[in-house]
């Protein structure tokens, strides 16, 4: 089965990992520092904190933002459940804002209409790798005193109005799962615009340990002393994974170029095919396409999905609206809330896209899709 996404691992990636295994540090060593600095450098020059997953990075971001009971978090339903669930776990009320009909990105006008002084975070998702409209979202956030968050699990390496992903919101989170734009196996990272927010995220991912003597509240212990002021988790990324991440980061430009080539090849082949809508791109963004989401019209998505899978093409559907999950239905969220997201979900089909996908394989996917439609 040709998968919808997969990692690309080179000989250099492998030797970077082997080198760590032969050294002194398996975790919380120099490779973690180097990886965090490299991620920060491509993400607007802000401090980055690595994490065990994109989900962990989202949990860290909401914790660093101070999200808790009584707070509202506005987010998009067109995402993986973790964008919302990690705020729910902290006690926040999730308010889902519908998406734009064409991009499936959170609609800033809807966000502006529903934001209140209880809104703590406005969390956008760069669906398929296409950055959301952060200038508009930031205006609303500033008006109500909220923070912006970019769940950039799909979009590392992309730009919006000339600014890199990582510099678009107060907080940005990445996932380095194997299907994403670069991988550490499992892994993720957070980038924060302010050092204070990055430090809070760092402590949350490090069991809440405070190690700076100038902040100690217990001052009569010895040089071994460390203390906890707020609870945290162990969400630390290993040096093994960080070495892979560093090696992968060096290939990100090449990955982005190949994803753009595949996108252009699909666009050209599918633009005139009846029954299919190809993804749109706004003029002010330069995305790194994590997904290639087409829309299958006339109620035929499931049938086409099944035919493609039967033909060995590992298509995927991204995503069922988050509030359809029983955990949210149990809380009283109802279908019909976000009609654009539901209409998008009903038609969406993700075609294979990953750096090692060949032109020949792209053509085969197109042939299979055209056949499935006839
Ligand atoms: C993959 C993904 C996550 C979660 O990342 P993990 O590393 O799998 O925990 C969060 N949000 C979105 C939009 C994702 O695609």
CATH of the domain at 65: 3.40.640.10
CA 81 / ligand 1 centre spacing (Å): 8
Final residue before a domain boundary, out of 216, 249, 282: 249
pTM for this one?
0.98
Tens digit of pLDDT at every position of the chain (374 positions): 999 999 999 999 999 999 999 999 999 999 999 999 999 999 999 999 999 999 999 999 999 999 999 999 999 999 999 999 999 999 999 999 999 999 999 999 999 999 999 999 999 999 999 999 999 999 999 999 999 999 999 999 999 999 999 999 999 999 999 999 999 999 999 999 999 999 999 999 999 999 999 999 999 999 999 999 999 999 999 999 999 999 999 999 999 999 999 999 999 999 999 999 999 999 999 999 999 999 999 999 999 999 999 999 999 999 999 999 999 999 999 999 999 999 999 999 999 999 999 999 999 999 999 999 98
119-125 vs 147-151, strand pairing mode: parallel
Give the burial class of 126: count Cβ atoms within 10 A of its Cβ; 0-12 exposed, 13-18 middle, 19 or more buried: buried
What is the predicted pLDDT for the residue at 200? 97
Task: Pick the atom of ligand 1 nearest to 176's CA.
Answer: 7
**How far lies 353's CA from each of 2, 67, 87, 316, 357, in Å?**
10, 35, 30, 11, 7
3-state DSSP assignment of residue 136: helix
CA 285 to CA 130: how far, in whole Å? 7
- Domain of 324, CATH number, reads 3.90.1150.10
Torsion, Cα 341 166 248 22, to 10 degrees, reads: -120
C-alpha distance from residue 299 to each of 234, 314, 347 (Å): 45, 20, 7
Domain of residue 40 covers 11-249
Using CA atoms, how far apart are residues 226 and 343, in angstroms rounded to an integer? 52
Q: Which residues contact 351 (CB under 8 A, 6 or more apart)?
A: 4, 266, 292, 293, 294, 313, 315, 365, 369
- Distance (Å) from CA 152 to ligand 1 centroid: 9
Nearest to residue 82, comparing CAs of 182, 161, 153?
Answer: 153
Q: Do residues 238 and 260 both lie within one domain?
A: no
Same domain (yes/no): 294, 155: no
pLDDT at residue number 147: 98
Whether residues 136 and 284 share a domain: the answer is: no
Say whether both 28 and 68 belong to one domain. yes
Q: Looking at the CA of residue 180, tell me the nearest atom of ligand 1.
A: 1
- Looking at the structure, do residues 267 and 353 belong to the same domain, yes or no? yes
The DSSP annotation for 214-258 comes to GG-S--SS-TT--EESS---B-PPBHHHHHHHHHHHTTHHHHHHH
Within 6 A (CB) of ligand 1 lie 53-55, 79-80, 82-83, 125, 151, 153-154, 175, 177, 188
In this prediction, residue 166 carries a pLDDT of: 98
Are residue 217 and residue 338 in the same domain, yes or no?
no
Ligand 1 atom at minimal distance to the Cα of residue 55: 9
DSSP state of 156: T
pLDDT at 361: 98
Instruction: Report the C-alpha gap between 67 and 62 in whole angstroms.
Output: 5
The minimum-distance atom of ligand 1 relative to the CA of 125 is 13
Identify the pLDDT of residue 240. 98
In a domain? residue 65: yes
The answer to whether residue 353 is domain-embedded is: yes
Task: Give the whole-angstrom CA distance, residue 157 versus residue 164.
Answer: 7
Distance CA 258, CA 361 (A): 13
Task: For Cα atoms 122, 179, 85, give the angle at the middle one, nearest 5 degrees.
Answer: 35
Residues 60, 82 contacting (CB under 8 angstroms):
no
**Which residue has 């809440």 as its token pair?**
208
269 and 170 share one domain: no
Ligand 1 centre from 29 Cα, in Å?
Answer: 25
pLDDT for res 187 = 98
Do residues 237 and 278 share a domain? no
337 & 244 share domain: no
Per-residue confidence (pLDDT) for residue 110, from 0 to 100: 98
Residue 59 confidence (pLDDT)? 98
Q: Are 304 and 349 contacting, i.e. CB atoms less than 8 angstroms apart?
A: yes
Strands of 163-164's sheet in order across: 163-164, 159-160, 285-286
Burial string for 231-252 (b: 16+ CB within 10 Å, else e) reads: ebbebbbbbbbbbbbbbbbebb
Task: Read off the tokens for 353.
Answer: 């896209």
Q: Is residue 72 part of a domain?
A: yes
What is the pLDDT, as a whole number, of residue 360?
98
Burial of 201: CB neighbours in 10 Å, binned 0-12, 13-18, 19+: buried
Residue 204: the pLDDT is 98
Distance of CA 201 to the CA centre of its chain: 17
Q: What pLDDT score does 52 carry? A: 98
The answer to whether 124 and 132 are in contact (CB under 8 A) is yes
Same domain, 279 and 208: no
Choosing from 80, 150, 293, 348 the residue with most ligand 1 atoms within 8 A of its CB, the one to mutate for a pocket test is 80
Does residue 288 sit in the same domain as residue 183? no
Same domain, residue pair 263 and 202: no
* Count: domains in the chain: 2
Q: Let me know: does 254 contact 355? Beta carbons within 8 Å.
A: yes
């Amino acid at each position: 089965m040709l998968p919808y996404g997969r990692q690309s691992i080179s000989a250099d990636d492998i030797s970077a990992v082997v080198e760590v295994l032969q050294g002194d540090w398996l975790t919380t060593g120099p490779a973690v520092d180097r990886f965090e600095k490299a991620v920060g450098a491509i993400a607007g020059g802000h401090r980055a904190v690595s994490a065990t997953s994109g989900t962990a990075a989202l949990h860290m971001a909401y914790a660093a933002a101070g999200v808790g009971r009584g707070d509202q978090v506005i987010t998009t339903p067109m995402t993986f459940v973790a964008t919302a669930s990690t705020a729910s776990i902290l006690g926040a009320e999730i308010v889902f804002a519908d998406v734009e009909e064409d991009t499936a990105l959170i609609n800033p006008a809807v966000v502006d209409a529903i934001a209140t002084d209880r809104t703590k975070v406005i969390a956008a998702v760069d669906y398929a790798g296409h950055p959301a409209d952060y200038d508009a979202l930031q205006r609303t956030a500033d008006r109500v005193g909220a923070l912006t968050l970019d769940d950039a699990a799909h979009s590392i390496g992309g730009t919006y109005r000339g600014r890199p992903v990582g510099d678009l919101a107060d907080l940005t989170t990445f996932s380095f799962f194997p299907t994403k734009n670069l991988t550490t196996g499992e892994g993720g990272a957070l980038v924060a615009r302010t050092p204070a927010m990055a430090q809070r995220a760092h402590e949350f991912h490090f069991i809440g340990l405070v190690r700076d003597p100038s902040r100690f509240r217990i001052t009569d212990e010895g040089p071994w002393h460390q203390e906890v002021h707020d609870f945290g988790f162990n969400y630390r990324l290993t040096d093994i994974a960080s070495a892979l991440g560093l090696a992968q980061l060096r290939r990100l430009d090449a990955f982005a170029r190949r994803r753009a080539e595949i996108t252009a090849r699909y666009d050209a082949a599918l633009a005139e095919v009846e029954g299919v809508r190809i993804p749109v791109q706004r003029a002010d963004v330069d995305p790194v396409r994590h997904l290639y989401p087409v829309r299958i019209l006339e109620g035929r998505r499931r049938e086409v999905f099944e035919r493609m899978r039967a033909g060995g093409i590992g298509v995927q559907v991204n995503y069922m609206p988050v509030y359809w999950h029983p955990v949210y239905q149990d809380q009283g969220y109802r279908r019909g809330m976000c009609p654009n997201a539901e209409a998008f979900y009903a038609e969406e089909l993700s075609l294979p896209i990953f750096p090692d996908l060949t032109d020949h394989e792209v053509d085969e996917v197109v042939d299979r899709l055209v056949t499935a439609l006839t």
